[in-house]
Amino acid sequence: MPTQTPEDILRRVLRVARLDGMSVLVIAGGFALGSLALQDFSGAAAGFVIASAGAVELLGRKLLLAGQSRGLDWLIGSQLWLVTVILLYAAWRLQAYDPALMKHYALPVLRSELVEPLLAANGLREGDALRLVRTLYIILYLALGVLSFCFQGGLALYYRKRRDAVTAALAGREAP
C-alpha cells in the first residue's frame, strides 16, 4: 500500500468527520424528537445532548476546512464527550430499570396472538418471559456502552494519531 501524504490523511479525516458527525446528529436528533413525541422527556434530553456531540464534530471539521488545526481538538473532544454521555446514559438506564413499568408494557405483547403461542410452544410462562425481557434489557444497555466505548474511543484515537499529518497538511496550504 502506498504511503499516504499529509494531504490524503487530511482529506480522509474530513470525510470521516463529516460522516460520523452527520450520522450522530441525525440519528440522535431523530431519537430525541421521537422521545419528545412520546413525552419521554429524559430520553429526549439524552438524545439532544448526544446530538450535540455530532454538532461539535462538524464544528471541528469546519475549523479544519478553514485551516485551523485546533479543529482536531474539537474532533477528539466530540468523541470523548459522546462516549461519556452514552456511558452515563446506559448506566442510568440500567440502574433505573422498573419491573412494574416493564411488565405494564411487556404483558400486552406477551399475551398477543402472535407471541403467546410461541411462548407456550417453548414451555415458557409469563414470569419466564418477563425475566427474559429483563435480561435482554440489560444486554442492550451493556452492549450500547461497550460498543460506544470501542467505537468512539477508537475514533478519538484515530483522530489523535493523525494530528501530525493533519497539522502538516494545513501548514502546507495557503492561508484562507
List, as one string, the DSSP characters of 45-77.
HHHHHHHHHHHHHHHHHHHHHTT-TTHHHHHHH
In this prediction the pTM is: 0.84
Give tens-digit pLDDT for 74-84. Answer: 999 999 999 99
Mean of the pLDDT values across residues 161-170?
96
Q: How far apart are CA 123 and CA 154, in angstroms?
A: 43
Give pLDDT, residue 55: 97
| CA pair distance 89, 83, nearest whole angstrom | 10
Task: Check residue 107 and give its pLDDT.
Answer: 87
Encode pLDDT of 105-124 as tens digits.
888 888 889 888 988 898 88
Residue 145 has pLDDT above 50, yes or no: yes
Residue 174, pLDDT score: 56
CB 78 within 8 A of CB 140: no
Grid cell listed for 39:
413525552
pLDDT value for 144: 96
